[in-house]
Structure 1
Amino acid sequence: MPKVGMAPVRRAQLIESVIRCIDDGGLSKATFKSVSQDAGVSAGIIAHYFGNKQGLIDATMRHLLKNLFADLKMAVSAFDKSSVQERLCAMVEVNFDGSQLRKAIGRTWLSFWAESAFQHDLSRLQNVYVGRMQSLLRHEFAKVQPRPLARDNAKLLLSAIDGEWLRTSLEGDRSDPAAIRQRISRLIALLLN
């Protein structure tokens, strides 16, 4: 009989195992067998918590999205009384801090985004990410710009964030997050002027 309160701990453990397995060999290597071996549990436990591999992958993606948006919310609230430019820069900072650029996390995001072109559930989660990011960015730009311009600038800034993030993930240790943040900060200044 499972211990009371163990489910959230076990789910988190399994999601971390998925991230490690994807880091080791991509999404195709994150099988029930490899995840169960990594986590030191039976494949039946994974099926109990997630149903099937797709449920496990979806839960991992939702976990990453939840963490990203929680970090974004915290960053923006810390700059509550700051300028739009400072708040936008804080959002950029979150996308290029240590937690988001951890090698295993980067490879997991890359695997998800690549696979989202072929899997409806992952595509839906990709759309959630884009929609929420654009909404957050648009909200900030709209404080100082007409809505149509704010919408366009939000899309441009998100494209820059995603493009730099992709390059960073592919370059690995050769990337310089501080330089990236500085480049995107210059872009924000241009978009606000």
Structure 2
Amino acid sequence: MTDHVEPAGARGTRKRVTNYGSGRGALLDAAVRVVARGGLRKLTYRAVAEEAGVTHGLVVHHFGSRDALIEEAVDHAFRSSLDVNTLDTGAQRAQDFALGLGSMVETGPDLQTFQYELLLEARRRPELMPRLRALYDAYFDTARRDLSRILDRPVERGLSRLVFAALEGLVLHQLVFGEREATEEALAELRVLLERLAEDAEGSADS
């Protein structure tokens, strides 16, 4: 059964706000945008209602408590993030590694910002750590699989974490400073390094 989102202007003279869609998913998308702009502490029923263009009571009806809203927003962001992840694309060559990273940041900055906000908030709210850990474990595993495929050998945790940290740093810098071209330049250099590692591994296998 499809959830129905009642426009904020449907009753009386309430001010109508831009409606980004209908259903529970639209409310969770709105929650992600609220957190991206103001941090997790700004995530309230009223802020989500205004962002989604619905009534305050509808948000209360869907989530029941602020803690439930936070938990579902986190889970929703995790699922969305894994769906748009630029890793695990089946790349066989270093030249194809992390293609689309700069575009992902440019087209979906709120989702990326939400995750960084969550990283900071998890230091103050340990109950968020299991969800955060699950997301990053998925990231780490994906990076390791990609690198193992490209280098044609099992990749140790240290190397996969190093490469992932480089990617995450590029995402953060592009979010803050823009400069997608700098992201692409850095990725080109990273691919060159991976090519050399692959060549070294191939040479060692032949000797």
Q: Distance in 1 between matches of 2:186 and 2:4?
A: 39
Structure label with greater radius of gyration: 2
Q: Deviations over 1:149-185 (max 9, x none)?
A: 43222111111111222222222x3343322432332
Alpha carbon RMSD of aligned pairs, Å? 2.9
Structure 1: which amino acid aligns with 2:189?
Answer: R
Q: Select 1:174's aligned residue among 159, 175, 179.
A: 179
Q: Distance in 2 between matches of 1:62 and 1:190?
A: 38
DSSP 3-state at the match of 2:123? coil
Aligned partner of 2:134 in structure 1 is: 128
Aligned partner of 2:153 in structure 1 is: 145
Change (3 A) 1:58 1:124: same
Change (3 A) 1:74 1:155: closer
In the TM superposition, 1:13-162 aligns within 5 A as 13-72=26-85, 76=89, 79=90, 82-86=91-95, 89=97, 92-98=98-104, 102-143=108-149, 144-146=152-154, 149-162=155-168
Query: Percent identity of the aligned residues?
Result: 17
Report if aligned partners of 1:100, 1:106 keep a CA contact under 8 Å in 2: no
Q: Which has the higher helix share?
A: 1
Specify every segment of 5 or more residues in structure 1 that has no aligned partner in the other structure, as ranges.
none
Q: CA deviation at 1:14?
A: 0.8
Aligned residues: 180
Q: Select 2:191's aligned residue among 160, 175, 185.
A: 185
TM-score (normalised: structure 1):
0.75
